[in-house]
Structure 1
Amino acid sequence: MTPATPPSVPLDTLVTERMDGIGPMLDALPTADLVHLMNDGDAAVAAAVRQQASAIAAVVDALAARMASGGRLVYAGAGTSGRLGVLDASEIPPTFGAPPGRVVGLIAGGTRALTDAVEAAEDDPELGRSDIEALGAGALDTVVGIASSGRTPYVLGAVRRAAELGCLTVGLSCNADAPLSAAVDLPLEVVVGEEIVRGSTRLRAGTATKMVLNMLSTLAMVRLGKTYGSLMVDVQATNDKLRHRAVRIVTTATGTDESSARRVLEAAGWHAKTAVAMIALDSDADTARAALAAASDRLGIVLEGR
């Protein structure tokens, strides 16, 4: 098993492990000062993400192109990084109507690691390799390795095996010149600086990771036609809140009244995109679905050509 901390790379060389000069005095500060201190640190995270904007855009375009051909987005991480990947993956089907399994979150230690620390699992690169193999990963898939340190053995094993299988590989870390960056096709290094609690990368690094994953998955879905304007027209209306949202989507997109929108949504199986197309084309659900299929499921194309 590969050690978690290679002796040739001291912890103090990692920005996420350095002391910010405040740590030893935290317990002596008033609570209000502590709140401001954390908030000031968090305020710098968005700027660090922005510095990677061009690189993030390149990942989104490459990812969306592969997903348009049937590929998957796969996250691989350990600890907080893994949990954030699983969280992001779990929210894509209900928000954008993507089929289950289209976005996958792998975490070192498996599902138990979502609620319980399975710390030693991250030290095993072979576990990362085997998790990628178990997915049957291939050339259309994009594997995003997530590791704040940029050197987690599980993540390195996952992206290296993914590369061998022909996947597009992406590395998301919060340290510069990370080993993960050298192991992938497209590196993203969001250097957020020292954590208020030394080495606790669930803080600034975790916030930065969540922001970047939001961008990757959401913007890929936008590129795939899963939105119309800012409307989530492929939302799965599986409860009262989401059915009300579907009604608002249809009324906003078409200008029809709520009663009519609800009636058409019921005929469309509560699929907002189909309902909007039905109203725009003055058609039944099957005709609307056929029109969407001919337009690569892009509602904007259907509305422009009506």
Structure 2
Amino acid sequence: MLHVLLKLHQSMDLSSFSYLQFVQFAVEQAQSHTILSPLSPQEKFNNLKARDGNATFHMLSFRAPKVRHFRSLCIEARPAMQVLDFAVLPKPEFDLPIFCANFFSTASLCIVVLDLNPLYDVELRSDYKDKYYKNLMPLYQKYAELLPWGGKVTGESLSFFSPIVVWSKFNSSRGMHQILYAAFKDYFMAWLNLMEQATKEADESKTVKNCEAQHKYLTWRAEKDPGYPLLKRLIGEDLANDLVRQFLFEGVDSLGTKSFLDYFPEYSCEDGSISQKRSVIGKVYNSRPWDAGGELISGKDR
């Protein structure tokens, strides 16, 4: 583990902003709360580089006693583009939320999603919302004005977000990067605390439901993730597809047998293919749809 951290540290230019700093923090903190066992990415992902030579990839992958997959992908491209795709997925024996940080930045703009993605739709499962998010609403309130709502979100996406989600767009600046880093640290520490308190599910039927819920999440992300077009441009369609299914959303081909259209039949086209539309149910949320207490505000969809 130490050599991994040293390699990350040496690759960072600490005088400038880098998402590798976020990853280093997460690995160090996770290591102090649990036992991380490194996983080796498939050989084809070793030394992954963009076809035009202008982007480098940094990948880390671990497992832990309560964690099925702890992984990160950082992309740094000249002159100033950076991407962080970081997630921690629990083992099915635990109904923990999925820690998710998806950040994209250029010299002028940052687009971020930071959340403890619910395993179950919180508007259908109030018990799940109360269990994991009721006590975390002050965390959202801390950053609500500092990282304002980023605009339109589809109803489909909302079902995978929690009431504490940070979805924001802002002009890149040192001050905003520092705020984002502080939010990342607070949210990750909140997730680690939930992990420490989590107990293994004794009811096998609930473990099966957790597994299917995670598989549904992975199936949605693998098909509709907005970062997929960028990956295709950087490394080609075949390798991008493998990276998505075998690393970023590993488990989509092993945790379950249902297809995307089994979970989301409304996306089926007449020829049996999957609609490429981002939304088919018609709901769009232009402003934050939850109140300060985490309750969905009626009339927000338009």
Normalized per residue, the structure richer in helix is 1
**TM-score (ref. length: structure 2):** 0.30
Normalized per residue, the structure richer in strand is 2
The higher-RCO structure (CA 8 Å, 6+ apart) is 1
Larger radius of gyration: 1
**TM-score (ref. length: structure 1):** 0.29
